Amino acid sequence: IILKETERPIFTQADLAFGNLGYNSLDLMLGGKLGKDKNVFRFSLYGSNTIRERTDIFYDPNLFNVNHYLPFGLDTMLYLDNRNYRANQPPSDSFPKVAAIPHESRLLGINLNWRGVHLTYNRMARFDHMALGISPLAVSYANPSNRLAEYMETYALRFSRKRPKWVTHNTISAIRYRIDNTSTTTYVFDKLSAATYRAIAANSGMLSDSQRTNILRNIYRELASNERYTVGNGIDLRFESLLNASLSSRIFLDAGVMVNTSAGTPALSHYEIPIDIRVDGTTSPNVVMPYDPSLGSDLVGNLFAQLVWKGKRLYVIGCGSVNYSVNYGFVPLPRIGMQYRLDSTWSVRANYSTGIRRPSLFARGNTYYIIDLNDPIISVSPSRADATEKINAWEAGLRYSNRNVRAEGIFFSEKVYRMLRPGAFDQEPGIVAPWRYGWDNAPGLSMTMWGLQGLVGITNQEVDIRGSRKRTRITGRTELFMQYTRGKEWLGEERRLIDDVFNAPRWQFQFRTFFTVNKLEMMLASNRQTSVLSKSIIYRDDYERKVVQERYPVFRSWDLMLRLYLSNHFLLYFNMQNVFNKHYSGLDATGTPDDLLFNPQQGRLIRFGINYNMN
């Protein structure tokens, strides 16, 4: 029943799309409202499902060249005894053997709102084929049953209270995450296996060919043989209380407290059988191989206050917070910023801020001590990364804006201390010195970066084309972005200097324009970046691995979107990503030594869709 054109008690939205590579998706939402005045109850139910039946794979012989991945001076004989390895003869046999449906994701949720009380619940599931983006000599591409099945539930209850001079928001939220124990990976010789071999070889002195072969066979049997199962189960609980207050006509206060606790087992693999694991870390069966799952937890509290002063021309903001972690202690975090309006069109601004990043449960759980080097028993014991990464950043900018044009220039600088990185491999000091592999914090200053950014936006571009009987009006807007970046990184305890920043292009250009012709809207976007430094040069020194390509090449992509508005509520759309189907090296996929060289990214994706919106 529609009482008025602008007052619908029930409304709905539906979106149906299909595309190449077996892409199809369906999104539905049903919402409504009951009551009137201040006693309005609003609700919405929504769900979505997305499937991709095929995956676009770009083949390059370098992807499967064994010599590009071999560590520690090992030769290609390493793989002859490994039954999980699939040689590239013929080359087409090296294509990833993905499942019948390599990707599927689902979402179901509900949203309720009544008089300042807001309740949200979401249930999500995602199924993805494993190994894409990882070296085929670390993880086999040959098994189509490999997949990661993830389930997540989110809950949030929010209470808001509004008064003339202040507003409070109190939120209680929870996240449940679980990996289905049918998730599998087929390993070949991943870097945990390589680190174990290096530790045993260093402890054994000169090895004969037969001794080396026996060690490699034992490592394969312990860590990689057959399919290996993945586990993970965790919970995150959070309480936030925020206050926004107006102290005077020019002074405003934002203050709050946040308490967060998390516990569980992060994603861990290498297990020989499916394992049921609970949040407290207990498993069924009780004894699992090759190592016990790592249970992690933390309790974090954060207290902050922010004062804002708004003058006629000057805007100043100052913020201070104290963050406390049971595992890592106290950290103060100051921030200050200002903006000054020179006139109605020009303004300048500057700010300084600090931030932190603590090791996640995943980083801590996927860091190992190799503590038993007795052949043939290999024991790998999970360890932890144990320092807080700190970031100092500042920027200064100049902005021009009027009704139709906005332009901005920014100079920025950033320094990172104790940066947390994966792939660290070293020997710990001690009487019996174990080897440590996984995530580790670099000492002292780890990265410094500075650069320039430019942004130009032009709106309300209008052209009228008048004919004898018809008038066509073209409107649009255009956005341009440019960034130039330089920096340095220091690696390892010996602080090796790299005169560049990994995966950060020195030049990056982005362009996006929108045009509307009557009921047709078009969006054209482009992204271009210069070559970037690959992390492969780290593995040259730490893993004695050949470096094939130190820098990823220049890349440019184009995206296109067309929308045809048939009515106020009904439209058709066409979307094409990566129009010219450019395959590029991309960023390091996993950030670990198991990355695939020349990692292929998504190729051209074309979608056609129908959208109906009665909101």
pLDDT at residue 57 in the model? 64
Beta-bridged to residue 355, according to DSSP, are 391
Task: At 296, list the tokens.
Answer: 């992690």
Q: Mean pLDDT of all residues in the chain?
A: 86
pLDDT at residue 146 in the model? 85
Strand pairing of 10-19 and 117-129? unpaired
Q: Can the peptide bond before residue 332 be classed as cis, meaning omega within 30 degrees of 0?
A: no
Beta strands in 102-225 (DSSP E): 103-114, 117-129, 147-162, 166-179, 184-185
Closest CA to 237 of 185, 283, 297: 297
pLDDT at residue 16 in the model? 92
Low-confidence residues of the chain, pLDDT below 70? 1-8, 56-64, 86-100, 130-132, 373-379, 383-385, 430-433, 461, 465-469, 471, 584-587, 598-601
pLDDT at residue 2 in the model? 41
Residue 149, helix vs strand vs coil: strand
Beta strands in 367-444 (DSSP E): 368-372, 379-382, 389-401, 405-417, 420-427, 435-441
> Other CB atoms closer than 10 Å to residue 75's CB: what's the count?
9
Closest CA to 435 of 189, 228, 122, 194: 194
pLDDT at residue 601 in the model? 64
pLDDT at residue 562 in the model? 96
Which residues lie closer than 8 Å to 126 by C-beta, 6 or more apart?
103, 104, 105, 106, 148, 149, 150
State the Cα–Cα distance between residues 294 and 267, nearest whole angstrom: 10
pLDDT over 90, % of the chain: 42
pLDDT at residue 4 in the model? 44
Which residues lie closer than 8 Å to 221 by C-beta, 6 or more apart?
376
Taking the alpha carbons of 81, 207, 270, 586 in that order, is the dihedral positive or negative? negative
State the Cα–Cα distance between residues 439 and 419, nearest whole angstrom: 10
As a residue count, the chain comes to: 615
pTM of the entire predicted model: 0.85
Beta strands in 492-554 (DSSP E): 496-498, 507-517, 520-529, 532-533, 551-552
State the Cα–Cα distance between residues 294 and 289, nearest whole angstrom: 13
Q: Are 277 and 265 in contact (CB under 8 A)?
A: yes
Closest CA to 46 of 122, 113, 104: 122
The distance between the two most distant Cα atoms of the chain, rounded to a whole number of Å, is: 94
Matching residue, tokens 């991709």: 52
Q: pLDDT tens digit string along 447-505?
A: 999 999 999 999 876 777 666 667 677 788 999 999 999 999 998 777 888 888 988 88
Task: Return the exposure string of 430-448: e unless at least 16 CB atoms fall within 10 Å of the residue's CB, then b.
Answer: eeeebbbbbbbbbeeebbb
Q: pLDDT tens digit string along 504-528?
A: 889 999 999 998 988 899 999 999 9
Task: At 19, list the tokens.
Answer: 């595309």
DSSP string, 116-133: TEEEEEEEEEEEEES-TT
Which residues lie closer than 8 Å to 523 by C-beta, 6 or more apart?
512, 513, 514, 559, 560, 561, 562
State the Cα–Cα distance between residues 121 and 47, nearest whole angstrom: 12
Report H helices in 408-450: none
Q: Please report, as a single letter, which amino acid is at residue 130.
A: M
Task: At 582, list the tokens.
Answer: 């450019």
Closest CA to 182 of 275, 99, 278, 277: 275
DSSP string, 8-56: -SEEEEEEEEEETTTEEEEEEEEEEEES-TT--EEEEEEEEEEEES---
